[in-house]
Amino acid sequence: MLSNQELAKIAKRIRRNIIKMVTNAKSGHIGGAFSATEIAVSLYFNEMNITAENVKDKARDKFVLSKGHASALLFAVLSEKGFLPEEELLTFRKINSNLQGHPNMNYVTGVDMSTGSLGQGLSTAVGMALSYKLHQQDFRVYSIVGDGESEEGQIWEAAMAAAHYKLDNLCAILDMNGLQIDGDVTEVMNPFPLDKKFEAFGWHVLHVDGHDYDQLHHAYAQARTLKGKPTMIIAKTVKGKGVSFMENDYMWHGVAPSAEQAEAALKELED
Amino acid sequence: MAKMATREAYGKALAELVCENPKVVVLDADLSKSTKTADAKAVCPERHFNVGIAEGNMMGIAAGLATCGNIVYASSFAMFAAGRAYEQVRNSIGYTHLNVKICATHAGITLGEDGASHQSIEDIALMRSIPGMTVLQPSDDIETKQMIKAISEMNGPCYVRLGRSAVETVNAEDYKYELGKGVVLREGKDITLIATGMMVQEAMKAAALLAEQGIEVSVINIHTIKPLDEALILKYAQRSKLVVTCEEHSKFGGLGSAVAETLSKNHPTKMAMVAINDTFGESGTPAALIEKYGLTAKDVFNTVMNSIQP
C-alpha cells in the first residue's frame, strides 16, 4: 500500500500530464478530471488489483469511467501504471491516436469499457459485477459516476438492477463536484439528494471527502465488508481541484487553457 | 406445410444452446414469454436474467457481461431493442464490438394488433448503419435454429430480426446454414426476387404465380442483410432484366436499399421494391396488415408485372 505522500506525488504528475494533454489537444475536460483524480489514484494504486501481469485478463478487478469525459485522467493514470507510454499522452484527441476524446477499450490496454455517452457506463459495470457473481469469481468492479451524469435516467435503471441482483462486488464513486457544462447542477437540473435516492434504490451509501485518501481507503474497505448490496461512495469534490484559478468554476468543464494559463497551472502543480 | 414463428424457433434453439455452452448468458426485458427466452430460463434459470422494463440498461449489462467473456443473447421487441436502445447498442455494443447477440422479436407489422407503436419498420436501417454490426433475419424455423447456434461461434455483435407470427418452412430438412451466404431457393432465367424474413414465403408463392404466366423468376433468401452476399446478388442481377426486393420493413434503409447500393455501384439493374411505404402501420391481424400494406405474394406478383410492362 502506497503512502498518502506517494499517492499525492502520483496525483500531481497525473494532473500535470492532464494539463499538458488538454493544452496540446486544444480541447478536453480538465475540471471533471481534476475532481476525480484522488478517487482514480486511490483505486488504481491501492485498491484495485490491476497489474502488468493481469491487465489483459477478461476477468479481474475492473474499472468503468462512467463519466467518460474525464478520459484524460484515465489515460494519465494508465500511463502512470505503465500500461501506456508517457509520450503517447501528447497524441490525446489527435488524428490517428489511440487516445480518443472519450476512452475506447479496444485501443488502449487497461481501458475496461468504452464510455463517453453519459449514463451507460454504470450499466456496463453492473454487467461485469453480475458476471463475477454468476461465475463465482472473487473480483470487484468500480465505477466513477458524475453528479451531472445522474440526470440520465439510465443511471437509475442501473442502480435498480445493481440492488436487485445484490451486487455487493460493485462499488461506485459519485464524483460530486456540483457543476456540469451549463453551470451549477442544482440550477440546470437538480439531481439531489443523491444519497437518499441511492439509498431508496437499495444501495449502501457512504460519504467522503473525495480528495482525502484516508477517507477514500476507509470507504473502499467498508464497501468490501458490506454484503448484499452495492455501495455508492458519495465523494464531495472540487471541480478543477489543484489549480487555484480552475477550482469550482464550471467554465473549466471543457475548455483548454492558453499557453500562459497552462504554464501557471503547471507551476501550481510542481512538487 | 409446417408453420412456426421464428421467435418460437429462437426460443427452442436458445434453450438447447444455453445447456450446451456455459458461456451463454440470456437477458430479457420483461418480455420473456413473448420473445421466448422463457424456454432458456426453464432449462437454465441461473443464466437467464430478466432486467425488467429497461432496455437501455439491458444493453449496457449485456456489454458488461460480454467484456468478461460471456456470450450474451439479449432480447426484447425490435421496437425497443433497436429503437429505444439504439444509442446504447451503438455505443456500448457496436463501438466496442462486443460479443452481444441482440435477438429482437415482433419485428415488422406482422406484430399485429398492438399497432404502430410496437411495429418496428426501421430497425434494419438503424442496425445496418452501425459499423461492424452483423444484421440477420431468418426466413423460417429451420434457418433460425441453425443461425442462433452459428452466431455463438461468431465473435462480435449481431442483430437478429425475428417475427411474432408463424411462417411457412421454406428450407429443406437437410438445409445447411452459412452466415453471409444468400440462399437460392428457386432458379428462373428472367427475373430475380430477393427476399428476407417472412417475405421469403411470399416471394416463393409469387414465383409460382408468375410461372403460371410463363415468367420464370429466381428467388434468393437473404438471411444475412449485412454483410450482404454481393457476389450472389451480382451474379443473378447480371442475368436478370429486373430485380425485386421483398421485405417487411420501410422502403428506406432496408434490404432494398442494401441491394440498390451494391447494384448501382457494380451493375446498374432495373429494380423494384416490395416494402412498406413512408407510413406507420396500425392495429389489425397480421394477414389484414400485410394485405393493406402491400406485402403479400399478390403484391410481389403485381410489382413484377407492372415493372415489366412495356
Q: Is B132's Cβ below 8 Å from some Cβ in A?
A: no
Closest listed residue to residue A63, CA positions, set A53, A50, A76, A73: A50
pLDDT band per the 50, 70, 90 thresholds, residue B2: confident
Q: How far apart are CA A43 and CA A233, in angstroms?
A: 13
Q: Tell me the residues of chain B between 49 and 68 that have a Cβ less than 8 Å away from chain A.
A: 49, 51-52, 54, 56-57, 59-68
Of A28, A114, A57, A116, whose CA–CA distance to B132 is shortest?
A114
**Are A4 and A213 a contacting pair, CB within 8 Å?**
yes
Which residues from chain B sit within 8 angstroms of residue A122, using beta carbons? 60
Residues of B in contact with A132 (CB under 8 A): 68
3-state helix, strand, coil in chain B (%, to 5): 45, 20, 35
pLDDT band at B309 (very low <50, low <70, confident <90, very high): confident
User: If you count them, how many residues does chain B have?
Assistant: 310
pLDDT digits (tens, 9 = 90+) for A34-56: 999 999 999 999 999 999 999 99
Which CATH code fits B3-168? 3.40.50.970
Q: Is the pLDDT of residue A9 over 80?
A: yes
Q: Do B49 and A114 touch (CB under 8 A)?
A: no
Residue with cell 428450407: B171
Euclidean distance between CA atoms A198 and A267, whole angstroms: 39
pLDDT band at A245 (very low <50, low <70, confident <90, very high): very high
A and B: number of Cβ contacts within 8 A: 107
Question: In A, which residues are within 8 Å of B61 by CB distance?
Answer: 123-124, 126-127, 130, 158, 161
Q: Testing the interface with A: which of B61, B70, B130 to mutate, by most A Cβ within 10 A?
A: B61
Calpha distance B304→B310 (Å, rounded): 12
How high is the mean pLDDT of chain B?
97
- Starting at the edge strand found earlier in the chain, the sheet holding A141-146 runs A62-65, A141-146, A170-176, A231-236, A204-209
pLDDT digits (tens, 9 = 90+) for A115-154: 999 999 999 999 999 999 999 999 999 999 999 999 999 9
- Chain B residues with CB inside 8 Å of A128's CB? 64-65, 67-68
Provide the residue ranges of all domains of chain B, joining segments of one domain with +: 3-168, 183-307
pLDDT at B280 over 80: yes
Question: With an 8 Å Cβ cutoff, are B64 and A131 in contact?
Answer: yes
pLDDT band for position A252 (cuts 50, 70, 90)? very high
Mean pLDDT for the stretch of residues B7-26: 98
- Report the distance separating Cα A179 and Cα A249, nearest Å: 8
CA distance B140 to B7: 10
Residue B65 to residue A131, Cβ atoms within 8 A: yes
Q: For residue A214, what are the contacts with CB-CB under 8 A and spacing of at least 6?
A: A4
Contact B225, B258 (CB under 8 A): yes
Selected for mutation to probe chain B from A56, A143, A157 (highest B CB count within 10 Å) is A157
Share of chain B above pLDDT 90, in %: 99
Q: Are strands A183-184 and B183-186 parallel, antiparallel or unpaired?
A: unpaired
pLDDT of amino acid B1 = 65
Kindly tell me if the per-residue pLDDT of A271 is higher than 90: no
Chain A positions with Cβ closer than 8 Å to B: 58-59, 62, 64, 104-106, 112-114, 116-117, 119-132, 134-135, 153-154, 157-158, 160-161, 164-165
User: How far from chain centre, in Å, is Cα A141?
Assistant: 12
H or E stretch covering A24 = helix A4-25
CA distance B42 to B21: 16
Q: Mind telling me how many Å the CA of A145 is from chain B's nearest CA? A: 15
For A130, the closest of B49, B52, B96 (CB atoms) is B49
Contact B60 A58 (CB under 8 A): no
CATH number of B183-307: 3.40.50.920
Rounded to an integer, the average pLDDT of A248-254 is 92
Helices within chain B (DSSP H only): 6-20, 32-35, 38-43, 55-67, 78, 86-88, 123-128, 141-150, 199-212, 230-237, 255-266, 286-292, 297-308
Q: What is the pLDDT of residues B254-273, one digit of tens each?
A: 999 999 999 999 999 999 99
